[in-house]
Structure 1
């Protein structure tokens, strides 16, 4: 495909240490020669009075006073100033005026064309003049309205509108595919993937296990990700920790990420539960090397029903046995993940993996090698280049 200019409207700030689809896709597009103008999150969730949210708003104000910055070849990042409380029409109207004026100004200054608008934001039609772009791509990676603090009523209305207007819709979970394809037949299912080269460093003999992890007794049963009340089942983890005091449960991630109302007290008083806090993306293979088993202890709710866990292929790329709750998106991968049907079954799955009775290492790695950002982006751009027509008879990606 001839390189085009892409304006990518994200729902995650570029500088957030917990990278998601948005940052990875932006990098892949830039590496393919496209010029990418990455717009930081416009703040869908209503802010809380927590120090976390207040700090983020202060940081955002500082960034908003600066010009877009070039973070790597072909990739610029812009942090526009926006008013909070997007649930109110007047706020959205003012934000659209602010964003549109400044966006046009910076695109003109940087000589970036409006070839393609690639958006993750279901409020796009209320925040940006989407009609000025040659193509509109909606990449739906979550059931955003199911997250805490979201303006549900307006999101339901605008997301359906966005899906119907989009030239192409990409989704990351089977449930999202089922619902969005009813609104737009040019909807394609591409699950979340991983950077295999990065996470497979966990298998390298030269990769060192960090001192704060190696000093914790084995077996180490670990989870990496956002430790948020609507995502992680704290009751399940407490049950595991109390049932097997000889196991060490390691949780790496920010408590309350995306959900400042999270209460983690169920875990903080258990001697074999270790909340290590967030770690940089660069360090994650080192920590995964020190895990004996990797967990997906998610809540089962509207949000996770439509979620494909980003950590799944990262765990596999690191060579780890994976134990998960019954997430619908993982049903097609039962050959490389133990899907537990109850808390007791969850413990059983961990025990089987510790005893070496789970899936084979090479089988896990072979699957992980197929599901990478590079291969997925190549297939997605083939569809974009083909004006939304799939080159096969299927609307789902299966390498």
Structure 2
């Protein structure tokens, strides 16, 4: 790796993300912001999921088109107008407009040209980005963070995901994965580079006041997107009822559940707080009596490298998790893994048995916690390897 990271130049990037750029930071935002800080001449066009007005109507939400091309909000350490966001619009379903993906890919290409991005590297996180890789011809990095080929979807959508994933695995210059499980699954097709998630350990350990909306008394806190592919809603209900008179199960994160599931959780006594800005998350973790991971255990969740693994471990609170990837593999003695039938009781015990004082991973004898600084450096080397050499002047 290059030790003088601040002197690294370009290349420009077009990032096709599974999530929008918002106040809930995920892997893409941490890595992209880090790369921009260490590459002062680089710029990024961050392509968000499409605005889909018709789909919004079917979910009872207010329909709105995509927000188009716009400068990103200020990012610490990144100069103005170096990071741009693009939210295209999907006007019609694919069954009605079968070439919509190609039209949206053309929108991205035009936006990159308008910004004057020079020989960009295409960084694809969303398998639907395969169409853009195909039509743009840009050197491509495929960063696999979820095995959507294993997720439960309708037949048509599953087929599109499989086709996009297959194309990107076969044609991308480099494939990175976030977990050892994903590395093993992709190994039959090609070699991959493992770049796990990380955490800003210092920020998570810096003491902060208790959040005003954290319920009084003992709390078992979950931080992450509330999504049916990951969160075991029935187990959350069971756990909340087991905590009656002892404490409260608190879910912090974007709500992607159907309304009936949210209603079920609240009736069971779960505090569903919704999304919180990433710089407020440490407060919820630091002031919890226990941190929990009531996840479904299946082929899809086995592919994940949960951000919360590193965030939970950084704050040093007791953790109770179902036997999902990452948590079941750590040597951290503060992490207790419980099967579904024992999970609620284990969480209740965590709230009723006095916990030891917060400790660092080093004090607990566990493996080191990877930092975002280190993971940015790894991804920086990958980006450099993807870009073909510039043509030699004649």
TM-score range, shorter chain: 0.7 to 0.9
Q: Contact 2:121–2:383 at 8 Å: present in 1 too?
A: no
The SS at the match of 1:332 is: coil
- Alpha-carbon spacing, 1:261–1:236, altered in 2? closer, same or farther (3 Å): same
5+ long unaligned stretches in structure 1: 389-399
Deviates most, 280-289 or 348-357 = 348-357
Alignment of structure 1 residues 1-399 onto 2, 5 Å: 1-15=8-22, 17-33=23-39, 34-42=42-50, 47=55, 49-51=57-59, 54-55=61-62, 57-58=63-64, 60-61=65-66, 63-64=67-68, 67-72=69-74, 73=79, 74-86=82-94, 88=95, 91=97, 93-100=99-106, 102-129=107-134, 132-133=137-138, 135-145=139-149, 146=151, 148=153, 151-185=157-191, 187-201=192-206, 204=207, 207-213=208-214, 216-217=216-217, 219-245=218-244, 246-255=246-255, 257=256, 259-260=257-258, 263-271=261-269, 273-336=270-333, 337-344=335-342, 347-348=345-346, 351=349, 355=353, 361-363=359-361, 370-386=369-385
Counterpart CA distance in 1 for 2:26 and 2:163 is 25
The SS at the match of 1:85 is: coil
The SS at the match of 1:275 is: strand
* Deviations, residues 175-229 of structure 1 (Å, cap 9, x unaligned): 22122222221x122222223233223xx1xx2112222x512x21111122233
Q: Contact 2:72–2:84 at 8 Å: present in 1 too?
A: yes
Shift of 1:136: 1.0
Q: Contact 1:118–1:139 at 8 Å: present in 2 too?
A: yes
The SS at the match of 1:302 is: coil
Q: Contact 2:332–2:367 at 8 Å: present in 1 too?
A: no
- Alpha-carbon spacing, 1:260–1:237, altered in 2? closer, same or farther (3 Å): closer
Counterpart CA distance in 2 for 1:190 and 1:365 is 25
Two-structure CA RMSD over aligned residues (Å):
3.1
- Alpha-carbon spacing, 1:212–1:123, altered in 2? closer, same or farther (3 Å): closer
Q: Contact 1:228–1:262 at 8 Å: present in 2 too?
A: no
Deviates most, 69-78 or 165-174 = 69-78
Counterpart CA distance in 2 for 1:289 and 1:313 is 13
The SS at the match of 2:328 is: helix
The SS at the match of 1:184 is: coil
Counterpart CA distance in 2 for 1:196 and 1:140 is 24
The SS at the match of 1:362 is: coil
Say which structure is richer in helix: 1
* Deviations, residues 303-331 of structure 1 (Å, cap 9, x unaligned): 21211222111112222221110113333
- Alpha-carbon spacing, 1:211–1:136, altered in 2? closer, same or farther (3 Å): same
5+ long unaligned stretches in structure 2: 1-7, 388-394
Q: Contact 1:313–1:368 at 8 Å: present in 2 too?
A: no
Q: Contact 1:50–1:260 at 8 Å: present in 2 too?
A: no
Counterpart CA distance in 1 for 2:48 and 2:90 is 11
Counterpart CA distance in 1 for 2:223 and 2:99 is 38
Using structure 2 for the length normalisation, give the TM-score.
Answer: 0.82
Using structure 1 for the length normalisation, give the TM-score.
Answer: 0.81
Counterpart CA distance in 2 for 1:82 and 1:267 is 32
Shift of 1:254: 3.5
Q: Contact 1:143–1:176 at 8 Å: present in 2 too?
A: yes
The SS at the match of 1:221 is: strand
- Alpha-carbon spacing, 1:81–1:266, altered in 2? closer, same or farther (3 Å): closer
Shift of 1:131: 5.1
